[in-house]
Chains A and B, each alone.
Chain A
Amino acid sequence: MAAPLRPRARRAGRLTSFVLLPLLAFLAACGPSAVVPTVPPGATSSVVPPATATPAPTFPVTITDDEGTAVEIPAEPQHIVSLTPAATETLFALGVADRVVAKVEDIAAYPPEADDLPVVATFQGVDVEQIVSLEADLVIAGGGNPSFTPISAIEQLRRVGIPVVVLYARSVDEALAGIETIGSAAGAVDAAADVVGSMRADFDELAAATAGLDRPKTFYELDATSKIYTVPAGSLYAEMLELAGADPITTDDSYEISLEELVAADPEVILLGDDADYTTVDDVAARPGWGDITAVKDGNVLAIPEYVLVTRPGPRLADGLRALVLALHPEALD
């Protein structure tokens, strides 16, 4: 989910260094943090199976999404619209790509075939008219507070009778549950069970490999072009870092951390989860004030090239964990 917002956030970050408009600074600040917002309390993801529970997908089905909304899907969806990059990946992984008619803009579309889908939403907004005209019968949207998909768009789609399933994962378990939810909504329950089963096995294996290893104090950089952003405590990303055998430096509910706090926390490892076009390992040492951080002095600043794997709660999340383990504890993967 995080991925498509990044280049824009960065561009805005660049702008501020030249145009010192306070509002633009605000806008830049909102970019990365809007990606993974704070948690609405008490939301859980669960699937209510149809009355006659059979292994084959049966419709109508009522799904309780991550915001607690009961969404009724009357028949097997034939025109699915994905409004998060993670949902796009998931729909392809579940083998229902032929029923996906449109997607959200995505800087790292996966699989490559996903690139060919028409784009009906960007960071600026959702083209509700286009979605209606594609006769969408299922929309997978991103939630959170503030919502990844604008609430006004979700409301409008629901008002005209299109089922909208809003997903927002705050943990690995919820990310896996989200894949199962998409499976139930799209009529691919068995495929979802297979995908989740193999992901869970990967997670267990990787978590076992890092259990008992030293946990270096780790700073995961989401973005530092203007302000410094890292992962909040209790988020999916913090959990990923912990599973990878790190002791992550986290923020409370905002994603922002001051340089003073960062220097005081003194990370032993810095993982760069930013776009390699903008931030390189060499850049970090040159930043004023960063030189005395242990990780910088010891040369433990490591890039995570495919950062979308870490931040996108889709079918490749276990690959994201593997990338983190490879950076932090390469010996564990031997």
Chain B
Amino acid sequence: MSPGSAVLAARAGRTGRLGLARRPVGLAIVGLVLLAVALVAGIGGGTVAIAPGDTLAILGRRLLGLDIATTWAASAETIVMDLRLPRVLTAMVVGGGLAVAGAAFQGLLRNPLADPYVLGTASGAAFGAAIAVLIPVRALVLEFGLLHGFAFLGALAAVLVVYKLSRVGASSPMTSLLLTGYAVGSLLAAGLAMAMYLSGAGLRQIFAYLLGGFDASSWGRLAVAAPLIVIASLGILLRARSLNGMLLGEEAAAHLGVDVRRERAVLLALASLATAAAVAISGLIGFVGLVAPHVVRLVVGPNARLVLPLAALLGASLMVGADLAARLLGDLPVGVITAVIGAPFFLALLRRTRSGYEL
């Protein structure tokens, strides 16, 4: 165990009251089971009822190549394979990616209110999407329209600007980063408001993007976005040690042998990339990236080696569940569901573990 983890493990003794931090394998199994349940429910449920047996048989035949006689309508197969599966997998990848990015931002900025959108990604993406709506060109590349491309670039550009502007001398202190993020975000929000004002008939499209959702998911879009999100998230997971060091403060991290400036830049870049890819395909879905890491921390303490993978599992499960609820309730915006479920759940957890919660 590295010195950083040791200190954090000691802290976990204070915060993770259930002592679960010592049983990471058990927790991982719980997380995987949760995700599996969410996936099964997400693929099995929808506005059209398909018998669970048929759903399993369709999946077995198409994914595992099992030789199962078709007893179901062809439309059931289309619904499961071409509509539900890509949608559920997109929700899973986006939820996991946002949770990991949220955990990384919270750790990096040592701010419990940080979420994946804190450094301007959300406002950058929203502004980009709104600009795309104002441009009367409809183009599709790899099933992606102008809106997705502009949202992705807008998110990345916003973070880049925030990072550059926040530099003081050679370093960019965290307070400066946060405040710059806030300022740039406000500016972009003003731009977004202006774009919405000018958009006239396009407003419905911008509004739908701001609320987020998975109704436009497809295999093609998943194939492009998922690698970006998964690789960036894995990159963050592999840097858990650096994140642990930084939780102790930059000086302490430097003493532990972490190249603070470089690691922070890399982590910021990876978290921003995951966030940008996520918001490009699913719009702005709040709360999962904020809540999932906190819930995990409340259970296992702050050690990033546990927090990051478990937050990914929880975030993915939450998002798949929220999307299913959104579908069953008549295609509500998924962001509404995540907030309605996430906020009270989070409050309850906070109240139960009132003593000494910290990042």
A: which residues have CB within 8 A of B? 22-23, 26-27, 29-30, 33-34, 36-38, 40-41, 122, 124-125, 127-130, 132-135, 144-146, 150-153, 155-156, 159-161, 253-256
CB under 8 Å from chain A, chain B span 235-271:
none
CB under 8 Å from chain A, chain B span 105-131:
none
Residues on A with C-beta less than 8 A from B133 are 146
* Cβ-defined contact, B205 with A156, below 8 A: no
In the complex, whether B168 has a CB less than 8 A from a CB of chain A is no
* Cβ-defined contact, B47 with A129, below 8 A: yes
Closest CB-CB distance, A158 to chain B, in whole Å? 11
Give bound CA distance, A27 to B218, whole Å.
Answer: 27
Give bound CA distance, A135 to B72, whole Å.
Answer: 13
Give bound CA distance, A307 to B18, whole Å.
Answer: 66
Given A27-B207, A145-B136, CB of A129 within 8 Å of CB of B79:
yes
Give bound CA distance, A53 to B138, whole Å.
Answer: 34
Q: In the complex, which of the residues B75, B143, B201, B207 contacts A254, with contact meaning CB atoms closer than 8 Å?
A: B201
Q: In the complex, which of the residues B48, B201, B204 contacts A133, with contact meaning CB atoms closer than 8 Å?
A: B48
13 residue pairs of the A-B complex, CB under 8 angstroms, read: A23-B207, A34-B203, A36-B201, A38-B200, A40-B136, A129-B84, A130-B48, A132-B78, A132-B83, A133-B48, A145-B202, A146-B204, A150-B208
Give bound CA distance, A33 to B136, whole Å.
Answer: 16
Determine the residue in chain B with the shortest Cβ distance to A5. Answer: B204
Residues on B with C-beta less than 8 A from A127 are 47, 331
Give bound CA distance, A124 to B202, whole Å.
Answer: 15
Given A22-B193, A156-B216, A160-B78, CB of A129 within 8 Å of CB of B83:
yes
In the complex, whether B76 has a CB less than 8 A from a CB of chain A is yes
Given A133-B48, A133-B76, CB of A152 within 8 Å of CB of B216:
yes
Residues on A with C-beta less than 8 A from B208 are 150
Give bound CA distance, A26 to B332, whole Å.
Answer: 18
Give bound CA distance, A3 to B136, whole Å.
Answer: 25
* Cβ-defined contact, B136 with A125, below 8 A: no
* Residues of B contacting A: mostly: helix
Extra contacts, 18 of them, besides A26-B197, A130-B47 (Cβ < 8 A), are A26-B196, A33-B201, A37-B201, A41-B136, A124-B331, A128-B215, A129-B47, A129-B83, A132-B78, A132-B83, A134-B75, A135-B73, A150-B208, A159-B218, A160-B78, A161-B78, A253-B200, A255-B201
Residues on A with C-beta less than 8 A from B79 are 129, 132-133
Give bound CA distance, A40 to B75, whole Å.
Answer: 33
In the complex, whether B330 has a CB less than 8 A from a CB of chain A is yes
Closest CB-CB distance, A292 to chain B, in whole Å? 28
Residues on B with C-beta less than 8 A from A40 are 136, 138
Residues on A with C-beta less than 8 A from B136 are 38, 40-41, 145
Give bound CA distance, A40 to B197, whole Å.
Answer: 21
Residues on B with C-beta less than 8 A from A161 are 78
* Cβ-defined contact, B83 with A160, below 8 A: yes
Determine the residue in chain B with the shortest Cβ distance to A35. Answer: B201
Residues on A with C-beta less than 8 A from B203 are 26-27, 29-30, 33-34
Closest CB-CB distance, B328 to chain A, in whole Å? 11
B: which residues have CB within 8 A of A? 46-48, 73-76, 78-79, 82-84, 133, 136, 138, 143, 145, 193, 196-197, 200-205, 207-208, 210, 215-216, 218, 330-332
Residues on B with C-beta less than 8 A from A146 are 133, 201-202, 204-205
* Cβ-defined contact, B201 with A34, below 8 A: yes
Determine the residue in chain A with the shortest Cβ distance to B333. Answer: A124
Closest CB-CB distance, B145 to chain A, in whole Å? 8
Residues on B with C-beta less than 8 A from A134 are 75
Give bound CA distance, A256 to B197, whole Å.
Answer: 12
Given A22-B193, A30-B204, A38-B201, CB of A160 within 8 Å of CB of B138:
no
Give bound CA distance, A145 to B205, whole Å.
Answer: 10
Give bound CA distance, A134 to B75, whole Å.
Answer: 8
Which 3 A-B pairs give the minimum distances between C-beta atoms? A152-B216, A30-B203, A254-B200
Residues on A with C-beta less than 8 A from B218 are 155-156, 159
Q: In the complex, which of the residues A26, A125, A132, A145 contacts B201, with contact meaning CB atoms closer than 8 Å?
A: A145
Closest CB-CB distance, A250 to chain B, in whole Å? 14
* Cβ-defined contact, A160 with B82, below 8 A: yes
Residues on A with C-beta less than 8 A from B200 are 33, 38, 253-256
* Cβ-defined contact, B138 with A145, below 8 A: yes
Given A160-B82, A160-B83, CB of A129 within 8 Å of CB of B207:
no
Give bound CA distance, A156 to B86, whole Å.
Answer: 11
Give bound CA distance, A37 to B48, whole Å.
Answer: 32
Given A132-B79, A254-B201, CB of A125 within 8 Å of CB of B207:
no
Give bound CA distance, A153 to B215, whole Å.
Answer: 8
Determine the residue in chain B with the shortest Cβ distance to A28. Answer: B203
Determine the residue in chain A with the shortest Cβ distance to B215. Answer: A152
Residues on B with C-beta less than 8 A from A145 are 136, 138, 201-202
Determine the residue in chain A with the shortest Cβ distance to B214. Answer: A152
Closest CB-CB distance, A155 to chain B, in whole Å? 7
* Cβ-defined contact, A159 with B215, below 8 A: no
Closest CB-CB distance, B44 to chain A, in whole Å? 12
Residues on B with C-beta less than 8 A from A22 are 193
Give bound CA distance, A315 to B330, whole Å.
Answer: 31
Residues on A with C-beta less than 8 A from B201 are 30, 33-34, 36-38, 144-146, 254-255
* Cβ-defined contact, A133 with B193, below 8 A: no
- Between A36, A150, A156, A161, the greatest number of chain B beta carbons within 10 A of the residue's beta carbon is seen for A156
Residues on A with C-beta less than 8 A from B78 are 132, 160-161
Residues on B with C-beta less than 8 A from A26 are 196-197, 203, 207
Closest CB-CB distance, A235 to chain B, in whole Å? 12
Residues on B with C-beta less than 8 A from A122 are 330
Given A156-B216, A256-B200, CB of A129 within 8 Å of CB of B46:
yes
* Cβ-defined contact, A155 with B216, below 8 A: yes
Give bound CA distance, A33 to B145, whole Å.
Answer: 22
Closest CB-CB distance, B270 to chain A, in whole Å? 29
Residues on B with C-beta less than 8 A from A124 are 330-332
Residues on A with C-beta less than 8 A from B82 are 159-160
* Cβ-defined contact, B48 with A129, below 8 A: yes
Determine the residue in chain B with the shortest Cβ distance to A144. Answer: B201
Residues on B with C-beta less than 8 A from A159 are 82, 218
Residues on A with C-beta less than 8 A from B74 are 135
